[in-house]
Structure formats: C-alpha cells, structure tokens
Amino acid sequence: MDVNYAISFMSKDWIVANSISILYLISCLLIGKSLSKKNVEIFAKYFTYVFIVVYIIYHINHIIDGTWSLNKRLPFHLCGFSSVITCFILFIDKKQYWFEFLFYAGVLGGLNALLTPLIDNYTGTNFFYIEYFYSHTSIIILPLYMYYFMDMKLTKYSWLRCFLIINILLVFIMPIDFLIDANYMYLKEPPAVDHPLVSGEWPYYLVNLEFAVLFLLYFTYHLFNSPLLRNKTTI
C-alpha cells in the first residue's frame, strides 16, 4: 500500500526523527572541519557513494513492492532534483551553477521536508521512513559541506538565477502533472500536510509560494554571505 504519511509538527516522531537528522548533519560538518584538504574531498565522495547506493535501493524497493510509477517516482520535486545533482556533482569539472542550484534547492527544500514531513511514498516499510529523513538531510549536508570545506561560493545573483531556473522548471513540470495525474512540485494541488507557506486553493496558493520562495532565496543568499555564516571558521 502506497500512502501519504504526514508527521505532525512537534509530535514525538517528529522530534525523534529530526533530532537524529540534526545529529547526522552536525557530525558530517564536524568531520569535514577536522579533515585535511585531501581528506575533505575523499570523505565527500564516500558520502556521495553511500547516497547513490541508498538512492538505487529506494527505487529497487519500490519496483519490488509494485509501487514504482511515473506519477510518483520521477525526481521532479525540488528535493528530487537535488538528490540527482548530489549523485553526480562531485564527479564533474564545472560545478558552480550546479552547486548554486543544489545549495538553494537542497538546503531550503530539505529543511522544508524536515519541518513538515510528508512521506508520500510510504508503504509501511521502515526503509522508506528512514530513507526520507536520511535523504532530505543529506541534500542539506552536501552543499553546506562544499560551501564551507571545498571552496564553493554563492555568486552575487545566484539567488535570482535559481528562482528563474525553478520557474522554467515549472513551465515544463506543470503540464506533465496534468498529463500523468502527478503532483510534482505540488503544482496540481497543495501538499497533504499543514504548511505555513501554503494557503488557499489552486492556483492561488502557487502565487503565495512564488513570493515566499523568492524571499527565502534572497534571505538565504544574504544569510550565508553574512559574517555569521560566511566562513567555515564560524561553524
């Protein structure tokens, strides 16, 4: 059975799962801070190898369970795009634009997923529960790790470029949603979870989201270019 499983904000499950996620995130960043330049890259690649294996197992399990479908399993959510980028970004030469998209989509998308968990691929199997929090925390960790320990930066208008890319993606994904009865990027209907940034019916909630996303991108850029979070020594 493939159902939407929402975890209530500040419930026992929410607190336990997010506490473990925070511990995982902090541990990876502390490891990165303690490593030499060479070992920083080695650790990042092993981190990615594990992520790729889990990502493959995720899809294999859905195929075995008979719950893999085009309208549910394509990586067309922001977190899905971030997961795919996480799988290859360390193995290409020209990383900057990919990194910037991963940073905004991964950090903001991952945080959103952790704060308002909705496991829309839940089949009652513990793997999918654990994978949800592991994967969404991982797409936060890797861009932060690259930012602080691998000399990656956010360029001046990266937040605006990311906003434009997201809107270009919307143009292609929305008709796909209606064509295959999907809800990627929640363009067809609101997510089945209480969310402070989502209000109103279709299509009005999408307008609210546009402004919210634009603000969050702009805020994130300035936050991570502020003295508080700009340098790895501040962690």
Element of type H or E holding 3 = strand 3-6
Task: Work out the angle between the directed axes of helices 12-34 and 37-65 (0-180°, nearest 10).
Answer: 150
Alpha helices in the chain (DSSP H): 12-34, 37-65, 70-73, 78-88, 96-115, 126-149, 158-180, 204-223
pLDDT at position 1 over 90: no
**pLDDT tens-digit map of 97-145:** 999 999 999 999 999 999 999 887 676 678 999 999 999 999 999 999 9
**pLDDT tens-digit map of 74-94:** 999 999 999 999 999 999 999
pTM higher than 0.75? yes
- Whether omega for the bond prior to residue 203 falls within 30 degrees of 0, making it cis, is yes
Confidence of residue 41 (pLDDT cuts 50, 70, 90): very high
Best CA proximity match to 83, nearest among 140, 144, 7: 140
